[in-house]
Structure 1
Amino acid sequence: MDFPYTTLMVQGTTSDAGKSTVVAALCRLLKRNGVSVAPFKPQNMALNSAVTVNGGEIGRAQALQAIAAGLEPHTDMNPVLLKPSSDIGAQVIINGKALSNMNARDYHNYKLVAMEAVLSSHERLLQKYGKVMVEGAGSPAEINLRNRDIANMGFAEAVDCPVILVADIDRGGVFAHLVGTLSCLSDSERNRVIGFVINRFRGDISLLEPGLEWLEQQTGKPVLAVLPYLHGLFLDAEDAVQAVQAAQGAFRVVVPSGPRMSNHTDFDALRAHPEVDLRFVREGEPIPAADLIILPGSKNTRGDLAWLKSQGWPEKIARHLRYGGKVIGVCGGFQMLGQSISDPHGVEGAPGESAGLGLLNISTELTQDKRLEQVSGSCAFAEASVTGYEIHMGVSSGSSMERPVFHIDGRPEGAISEDNQVLGTYLHGLFDTPQAGNALLRWAGLHSDTTVDTSALREASLERLADATQPLLDALIRLKK
């Protein structure tokens, strides 16, 4: 296939309009047709991240898009990653490595430097793969962010690439979103928009056609495709927890959803398990009874620990354990299970120390160095292999770590309490390996022969997504002829 665009950018009228999935679908379609292509997102703001083959950190969505393109995720695919640690500040990650924490104003001033990393990464991808599918961030209509923009039209103008604009019809007001977004752009920006994609449509397409004709007459730009609402896709979320939770099985798993919860994709395998009822509990919501409580990772561990305490979780967890329930802590959640968390260097905010939940005999000191590594090994409590990744700032020690959860590359990892009711680990993706996932669920009390293969589910969803997006690829090729 002779795909006519060297760099093509997908921007959206809103966050979660479908930019990530459209880029993933185009990457898979081009891969199918023998085209060498790489995904790219100049700047991502997300708490779900992935560890790359070169030992860096990028947004989870770009890792998914790399899989769609048949590639190993690489830091060049997302050179700037912002991980919010408060309402006004974030950890700034450049080329896969944490640079520093910055407030919004400081980062805005830093964007001129960040753009250099963005353009260098884009050029390296072009040289290696020839074609690059770019995902924007948020919306290009955010006027207050136009100055020094590196995420949307600022990047498109810098590399002189065409843009397609995606809108989510399921939100309502799709025509206003598209026309309104165009009206907020400069003339040069508006001219580089080559067409629209209307995403997540369900119903009778004939009822939509008068609106499509009006939109094309109003803007002078074509509607390239109307993509269907695809139910049941198993794809890594960029950031937001899915609004609709699974409620299918009898085994109840509850996850407190703190303000800075990170890498909730750790629980996608549980969401897909037919015998598991997975619930995320947000602020102010009642805490339901559970068989297993999992404390997730966090970008601000001491802050989310304080939130847990304010929401009454320590008392709920104590009662849960008295009645024989099990508790797992992952990464920041593992640190919360210990006796204390100290932050002498102010890694997450003001220096200080917080008392942990006291369920494991460990103490943690947050460090300025971040551990980023893809790992593999075996379970210490069962005959099962495991693969995953570590991504954390902090070192834990204590007698509970003499009873490890895993053996990773010849070293013990994690901790299990003496009464075998509490388990903590730094390993993300711990449920994704079918053997380890089943072993962990058996430890928690679910004895099942059901196996969830997240890789197979993801691959099937990418193929399904690509099939549905074929009309867009066809339209893009026709448009250039």
Structure 2
Amino acid sequence: MLQGTGSDVGKSVLVAGLCRLFANRGMTVRPFKPQNMSNNAAVTADGGEIGRAQALQALACRTPPTTDMNPVLIKPQSDTGAQIIVHGRVMGNLAAREYQGRKGELLGAVLESYARLRLGADLVIVEGAGSPAEINLRAGDIANMGFARAAGVPVVLVGDIDRGGVIASIVGTRVVIEPEDAAMIRGFLINKFRGDVRLFDDGYAEIARRSGWPGLGVVPWIAAARALPAEDGVVLETAGETQGAVTIAVLMLSRIANFDDFDPFVHEPGVRLVFVPPGQAVPVEAALIVIPGTKSTIADLAFLRAQGWDVDIAGHVRRGGHVLGICGGYQMLGTSVADPDGVEGPVETVAGLGYLPVETVLTGDKRVSAVVGVSVADGAGFAGYEIHSGRTVAAAAPLLRFSDGSGDGCSVGRVAGCYVHGLFNAPAQRAAWLGRLGVLSDGVDQGARVDAALDALAAALDEHVDTGALMDIARTAT
């Protein structure tokens, strides 16, 4: 099990790389994350949902994702509440304080999933969440040491040297956690190192001396990781703009979901991809404004208006610019969004932005499905997925046609919307959208790009990590 000294230290990427590394050696490998908190979700073959990081790790293992790989998924809906997904299905909505008191009840579900994965695998690589040093959350923990001790899984602690303070982070973790938890940790890894690694020799040795844990390697900053989808929205706060002649602007909603929809544009040489943060205006030069998915449509529609983005969109449309809404963004572009059952919060109906002739009613049931189809206008193919609550009725021809003959989305002029995530991964679909903006696509399949990045990541880890020691540690699992 890889646990981190904090969030965003690179656990998800390291697990994905190790999954591919050992899969390339002919082993049957499975990823596992007991509890994940993310609004970036993926669809499993049986119609459940798990964190997208575990779906990526399943791809690294060359196996289809299953709900057992992430038995508990927390999808924040507000600053104090979240939707709880257990074994791929919605269990309900809980306030953060209420979940903290009840999370221990889910340990049984977590251990059931882990046991099923172990039965069919040579190796299970587990990812922790946050940090075991968050001792205020230790009671009833199922994400880190609570799981590790219950399942008898040895731990490797990961520290991120790029953010600074890695010596204190690792040694400090040893100081604050209970001795029984510290005994589960069998070594540490340093991640995201830049420069001459020999300059860190003394620091590396000092961590080992002060913590009593052996070092298992120093992982450099690996360029290939940039091609992999990020799990946490925190990366958007530090994401640099790409360079290109045509600007695509994505609004950073407060509950933005599945923002990896736009990863393919990062690699397009003709595109400048910009995530517009709260408080900033949409770039006037944008050719396409995207309203992305969100976990809370009504709340984020109010958030969008509070930023003045509705005014920016209106000016953009008057100038002949393109607008695309995906999932919650699609719902916002319609005439109204109703929540008669209080699915997202108060019972209310709000006016949409009014660009598309669609009405949405939020419902407690959820559509979770993989989809394949073509664009109605040009026949460009796609393969993606839907994860959304609510039903939308459109008084216009559909934008997309699924393989079963049903339609999705609609468009009016240069404004369009649909429910499909992953729309731009397919080269033909992405090329069609970029063609409308006057840009030639690189024509690369996003899936193939990610797969190649996983192989490059695995090769780098094989070079810089003591994989023999890792396997010796894994064999001590009970």
Q: Residue 279 in 1 paired to residue 274 in 2?
A: yes
Shift of 1:129: 1.6
Aligned to 2:242: 247
Shift of 1:478: 6.1
Deviation per CA, 1:378-402: give whole Å up to 9, x if none.
11011211100000001111312x2
Matches of 1:37 and 1:247, distance apart in 2: 35
Amino acid at match of 1:75: T
Q: Normalized against structure 1, the TM-score is what?
A: 0.95
Matches of 1:61 and 1:323, distance apart in 2: 39
Aligned to 1:3: none
SS of 2:364's equivalent?
coil
Aligned to 1:473: 467
Contact 1:406 1:414 in 2 (8 A): no
Contact 1:76 1:122 in 2 (8 A): yes
Contact 2:246 2:439 in 1 (8 A): no
Shift of 1:475: 3.2
Aligned to 1:214: 206
Shift of 1:474: 3.0
Aligned to 1:296: 292
Matches of 1:458 and 1:134, distance apart in 2: 21
Q: Residue 112 in 1 paired to residue 104 in 2?
A: yes
* 1:159-198 superposed matches below 5 A: 159-198=151-190
* 241-250 or 340-349, which deviates more: 241-250
SS of 2:222's equivalent?
coil
Contact 1:296 1:331 in 2 (8 A): yes
Shift of 1:114: 1.2
Q: How well do the aligned residues superpose, as a CA RMSD in angstroms? A: 1.4
SS of 1:334's equivalent?
helix
Amino acid at match of 1:434: P
Aligned to 1:72: 64
Amino acid at match of 2:430: G
Matches of 1:376 and 1:254, distance apart in 2: 26
Q: Residue 437 in 1 paired to residue 433 in 2?
A: no
Shift of 1:449: 4.6
Shift of 1:314: 1.4
SS of 1:53's equivalent?
coil
Shift of 1:163: 0.2
Q: Normalized against structure 2, the TM-score is what?
A: 0.96
SS of 1:409's equivalent?
coil
* 150-159 or 246-255, which deviates more: 246-255
Shift of 1:352: 0.5
Matches of 2:468 and 2:196, distance apart in 1: 22
Aligned to 1:46: 38
Amino acid at match of 1:152: N
SS of 2:399's equivalent?
coil
Q: Cα gap change, 1:288/1:41 in structure 2, threshold over 3 Å: closer, same or farther?
A: same
Shift of 1:182: 1.2
Matches of 2:216 and 2:305, distance apart in 1: 50
Aligned to 1:377: 373
Shift of 1:405: 3.1
Shift of 1:184: 1.5
Amino acid at match of 2:276: V
* Partner residue of 2:194 out of 180, 198, 202: 202
* Partner residue of 2:417 out of 402, 421, 424: 424
Aligned to 1:357: 353
Q: Cα gap change, 1:435/1:407 in structure 2, threshold over 3 Å: closer, same or farther?
A: same
User: Percent identity at matched positions?
Assistant: 47
Matches of 2:441 and 2:42, distance apart in 1: 29
Deviation per CA, 1:118-173: give whole Å up to 9, x if none.
00000000112242100000000101100000000000000111100000000001
Contact 1:405 1:423 in 2 (8 A): no
Q: Cα gap change, 1:368/1:477 in structure 2, threshold over 3 Å: closer, same or farther?
A: closer
Matches of 1:383 and 1:286, distance apart in 2: 35
Aligned to 2:55: 63
Shift of 1:98: 1.0
Deviation per CA, 1:299-344: give whole Å up to 9, x if none.
0000000011111111111111111101000000000000000000
Q: Residue 457 in 1 paired to residue 449 in 2?
A: yes
* 1:316-327 superposed matches below 5 A: 316-327=312-323
Contact 2:371 2:383 in 1 (8 A): yes
Q: Residue 95 in 1 paired to residue 95 in 2?
A: no
Amino acid at match of 2:204: L
SS of 2:162's equivalent?
helix
Aligned to 1:5: none
Deviation per CA, 1:343-369: give whole Å up to 9, x if none.
001111111111100000111000100
Aligned to 1:314: 310
Matches of 1:449 and 1:238, distance apart in 2: 25
Contact 1:162 1:193 in 2 (8 A): yes
* 339-348 or 236-245, which deviates more: 236-245
Shift of 1:206: 1.6
Amino acid at match of 2:411: I
Deviation per CA, 1:172-194: give whole Å up to 9, x if none.
01100000111121111111111
Deviation per CA, 1:9-43: give whole Å up to 9, x if none.
10000101111111111111110111111000000
Contact 1:375 1:409 in 2 (8 A): no
Matches of 2:229 and 2:240, distance apart in 1: 15
Contact 1:273 1:452 in 2 (8 A): no
* 1:4-43 superposed matches below 5 A: 9-43=1-35
Q: Residue 412 in 1 paired to residue 404 in 2?
A: no
Contact 2:281 2:309 in 1 (8 A): no
